[in-house]
Chains A and B, each alone.
Chain A
Amino acid sequence: MIRVVLPVHLRTLAHLDGEVALGVDGPVTQRSVLDAVEARYPMLRGTMRDHVTQKRRAFIRFFACGEDLSNELPDTLLPDAVAKGAEPFLIVGAIAGG
């Protein structure tokens, strides 16, 4: 299972506590993980990436295993530790503002 940690506002919107555990078919990539999150929680569609272009929203960042993966291509494989569920895939609202 893939572990995903969502920012607090999206956890509230999806009515969930803590991290999410998801099964992902095929290669574990940013795209396949987000597809799985949105399939289970349809109210999150459009909040992390654009409905049409599928581009990451400007103030959303992706981290895993101590690395910033935000600018990786969506079909790049995520680290093995994420694919095996040892480490979570972190979806983070960027620090912005003063």
Chain B
Amino acid sequence: MSAIRLLVGTRKGAFVLTADGQRRKWDISGPHFAGWEVYHIKGSPADPNRLYASQTSGWFGQVMQRSNDGGKTWEAGGNEFKYAGTTGTHLWYDGTPHPWEFKRVWHLEPSLSDPETVYAGVEDAALFRSADGGRTWQELPGLRSHPSGAKWQPGAGGMGLHTIIQDPSDAKRMFVAISAAGVFRTDDAGETWRPMNRGLRSEFMPDPTAEVGHCVHRIALHRSRPGVLFMQKHWDVMRSDDAGQSWKEVSGNLPTDFGFPIHVHAHEPETIYVVPIKSDSEHFPLDGKLRVYRSRTGGNEWEALTKGLPQRDCYVNVLRGAMSVDALDPCGVYFGTTGGQVYASADGGDAWAPIVRDLPAVLSVEAQTLP
């Protein structure tokens, strides 16, 4: 029988939540790396027991961890993230040039085919790769040295490269998203990159439709249709049908189109999920009601999913990396909150129940479907 393993990164450690295919009863292990921020944990699609974790601390910096047994035991890997070549500058919050400085790893994306290869998206925004299981890391400098790099500027949470998506149909194509620069795509395995932000509009920018500078919060795609991308931007939910070359707004009837995560159903490429948040100055659900919104039409038409979710006095946030889906049928959907709850739906979002209520603030959730 299949099993589900949820990899949960929090402000104070990592937790591994496991259940059988019924997804009713969960075992919780952790905290792993207690007291450290764990921005992200993700398993290798080629070897689900190979996990990578980003462990970080304001005191002690970045530590990388690797597990070969699905999170039961861990070993520290290499943690030297050295920018390639001349470091250069990007723009600081006040618009002045600021040298690139490594701060932490936000996102880990293991290769689709090789457990030893993993990509890391870091703050200040850059993309690194390890081909030796996380022992050493090398920058793919073509991204950061893009001519627009000197104009990139941090969002409120820092200038993080927070999303990496590999195209399952083309080993040389990859998408990344950076706050607040936007989406970039490579078609040559990371050698060169192009901004993919046409159609985005950000009113806070001097030129609202500029090529770079957009605060993209998350992008997602379905593996069966890698040319269709979905985006939760700072404001606006967007869709691209040409692999990022142009975007159109699909916020439709959402009560607010601000938010952080966006995800695609495992078996229905036009079914997508967002968690609307009141505004950029009030990071909590509208009217104190925690509602996931689902569109079965690839955007524009949205329905509120509320069953089992608190519908009063709820003022948590759901961060960009804190939503995931499993591959069972019906599809399981999961998200974690800054209040420490991890919610699960075993029926595609129709009904929800908390797996656990009192973890530290949840930074990331990744679901693994195990044989």
Contacts and interface: CB of A to CB of B under 8 A. Distances in A.
A10 interface: yes
Interface string A1-40: 0000001011011000000000000000000000000000
Contact of B63 (A43, A48, A51, A96): A43
Interface stretch (A52-60, A63-71, A72-80, A82-90): A52-60
Contacts of B35: 9
B76 A43 contact: yes
A61 B60 CA distance: 11
Contacts of B99: none
Contacts of B62: 46
A45 B78 CA distance: 9
B-side interface size class? 10 to 19
Nearest to A47: B60
Interface in B71-86: 76, 79-80, 82
Contacts of A52: 82
Given A13-B63, A43-B63, A93-B60, A51 B76 contact: no
A57 B61 contact: yes
A94 interface: yes
**A interface secondary structure, majority:** loop
Contacts, number: 42
Nearest to B81: A51
Contact of A59 (B34, B59, B79): B59
Interface residues of A, number: 18
Q: What DSSP secondary structure best describes chain B's contact surface?
A: loop
B83 to A, nearest CB: 10
A47 B63 contact: yes
Contacts of A94: 59
A45 B59 contact: no
Given A9-B35, A13-B63, A45 B58 contact: no
A4 B79 CA distance: 23
Contact of A45 (B57, B79, B82): B79
Interface in B12-70: 34-36, 57-63
Contacts of A57: 59-61
A9 B80 contact: no
A71 to B, nearest CB: 17
Contacts of B63: 13, 43, 46-47
Interface of B: 34-36, 57-63, 76, 79-80, 82
Given A47-B79, A51-B82, 10 more contacts: A12-B34, A13-B60, A43-B63, A46-B79, A47-B63, A51-B80, A57-B60, A57-B61, A59-B59, A60-B60
23 contacts: A7-B59, A7-B60, A9-B59, A9-B60, A12-B34, A13-B60, A13-B76, A43-B63, A43-B76, A45-B79, A46-B62, A46-B79, A47-B60, A51-B80, A52-B82, A57-B59, A57-B60, A57-B61, A59-B58, A59-B59, A93-B59, A94-B59, A96-B59
